Structure 1
Amino acid sequence: MITFCMIINSYFEMERQTFKVLIAATGSVAAMKVPLLVDSLKKLNENNLDYCIEPQVMVTEHAKHFIEDFDKLHAHEDSTEWSAWQKRGDPVVHIELGKWADLLVIAPLDANTLAKISQGICDNLVTSTVRAWDLKKPLLFCPAMNTRMWEHPITSQQIAALKEWGYEEIAPISKTLMCGDTGVGAMAEVSTIVGKIKAKADKKFHP
């Protein structure tokens, strides 16, 4: 299979190490920014000559509702999991994706999926991949929800559980939300998320 980084390496006529980023999008309206996140990561490769960032995307069913031109993402979804496995020996997608990736970024992480992950529930491709994630590798999560959901007491408890496991939060910001309310709960800016991802790649290749 020809990958994005193979094409980039051919263009620059050099062989670069690859930093594999798995982006998990859940059912927040902020999922509409996933294509921009992917494009922004790919643009880093135009200037970075040390390594190439290779993004892949997986989504929950509700995330798909917010992503324009979803098919262009070539994202993994629940149907990917079930169509890949027919018999013993076939790939288990939520395991294979976890093995493939150097970094998992949940962006956006909605209130529902936050609650599931904090309780160990794994009922779809995204939550199963998170549950099977190798804790020796970094995981970033970007909460995104209405301010009232963010301020509910259980949210801070759930965030704390994820942090206790070594997951790293990219905190939400305050702005006017899609519903018209103003307050904390919007997903961090794409530029902030890209900066955090680049920092993880830099740390891997320039410890």
Structure 2
Amino acid sequence: MEKHVLIGCTGSVATIKLPLLLNKIFEKENDLPWKIKVKIVVSEHAKHFYTVSDVPTNVPIYCDQDEWSSWTNRGDPVLHIDLSKWADVFVIAPLDANTLAKLAQGLCDNLVTCVARAWDTSKPLLFCPAMNTRMWEHPITATHIETLKSWGYKEVPCISKTLMCGDTGLGAMAEVPTIIEHIYSVLGLNKC
């Protein structure tokens, strides 16, 4: 049996944790009752924060260009639909302020947001906010978070720490082990 994990990365510096997240997902795979398959979707701005060579070669990475190059005629695959059908869970880690706002407003102008818009809400969608403290504290952020939660999406809350810019406060993406716990939990494995 396989479990399919789709990871979405957006334009937050927390995308630098993608290799660690992948390592932790696969770390205990031999102890699991099923095999894990992972695919990644990235926004254009997320590309700034990771190196393709840091991602295992068996993990495909899709971007906006792939959406458009895979379709030419009626009947061709539609990548965001295929990915939303394939995945058992969609984990957006990190979810930057811009993409949070897009999702809460129903906008879908890139591959990550199109997958989210096509997501079957009977399946879990986890989102891990990550942004500067000032952005986190803006009143609209709480409204956007509550909108996503009202649709059944599950928040993996941000944490307080010293951010890359040197500011200290809430807004940092949850620690990778916490995200892994949430992924395993929604896939039906409570303890790893």
Q: Which has the larger radius of gyration?
A: 1
Task: Please tell me the residue identity of whatever aligns with 1:51.
Answer: W
Counterpart of 2:78 (choices 92, 96, 99) is: 92
Question: Deviation of residue 203 (structure 1)?
Answer: 5.6
User: Is residue 142 from structure 1 mapped to residue 143 from structure 2 by the alignment?
Assistant: no
The answer to whether the 8 A contact 2:19-2:54 is kept is no
SS of 1:183's equivalent in the other structure is strand
Gaps of 5+ in 2: none
Counterpart of 1:52 (choices 16, 35, 38) is: 35
Residue by residue over 1:173-206, the C-alpha shift from the partner in whole angstroms, topping out at 9 and shown as x without a partner, is: 00000000000000000000001111112269xx
Matches within 5 A, 1:1-207: 17-48=1-32, 50-69=33-52, 72=55, 74-202=60-188
Gaps of 5+ in 1: 1-16
Normalising by structure 2, we get a TM-score of 0.94
Q: Which deviates further from its counterpart, 97-106 or 62-71?
A: 62-71
Distance in structure 2 (CA, Å) of the matches to 1:99 and 1:86: 20
The answer to whether the 8 A contact 1:23-1:56 is kept is yes
Question: Deviation of residue 70 (structure 1)?
Answer: 5.5
SS of 1:107's equivalent in the other structure is strand
Distance in structure 2 (CA, Å) of the matches to 1:113 and 1:150: 13
Greater RCO (CA < 8 Å, at least 6 residues apart): 2
Distance in structure 1 (CA, Å) of the matches to 2:29 and 2:3: 11
Question: Deviation of residue 63 (structure 1)?
Answer: 0.2
Size of the alignment, in residue pairs? 187
Distance in structure 1 (CA, Å) of the matches to 2:162 and 2:60: 31
Q: Which deviates further from its counterpart, 68-77 or 192-201?
A: 68-77
Distance in structure 1 (CA, Å) of the matches to 2:66 and 2:86: 16
Question: Deviation of residue 71 (structure 1)?
Answer: 7.5
Question: Deviation of residue 47 (structure 1)?
Answer: 1.9
